[in-house]
Amino acid sequence: MAIDKRYNIAVYLEKPFNRDTVKVTADYDGNLTIVEWNESKSQPTKEQLDALDSEATKLENNNKVIANRLKEYPSVGDMIDAICKKEAGDSTEFDSLETKRQATKLKYLKAIKS
């Protein structure tokens, strides 16, 4: 079950949403109440959202994986520098960064999409 039930809403909508389109409140147990709904798709029931727990958990976990990967991936500047050096004939830095990138991808695996 997704810890953050807003993921259930995102899965229901099949897209991310923002505070302009959906406003929610949460109690201390994490139970969400939709207080405003400005989407073209009809507002879901609690049962409809609960039925999406498995998909919402995958989305939540994948977002955590992406955030962790971004923290450890080489910077864009480092990659550009390494690519330029590789084009000039020295692939040492590029190979090192690519090895690090692949190790990061293996360290933080995404859930398999169903």
- Model confidence over 9-42: pLDDT tens digits? 999 999 999 999 999 998 888 788 999 999 999 9
Q: What pLDDT is recorded for position 93?
A: 96
The CATH number of domain 1-52, selected from 2.60.40, 1.20.1630, 3.30.56, 1.10.10? 3.30.56
Indicate the domain borders of the chain: 1-52
Question: At residue 91, does pLDDT exceed 80?
Answer: yes
Long-range CB pairs of 10-14, under 8 A, 24+ apart, other chains included: 10/56, 10/59, 11/52, 11/55, 11/56, 11/59, 12/41, 12/44, 12/48, 12/49, 12/52, 13/39, 13/41
Q: Quick: pLDDT tens for 52-81.
A: 999 999 999 999 999 999 999 999 999 999
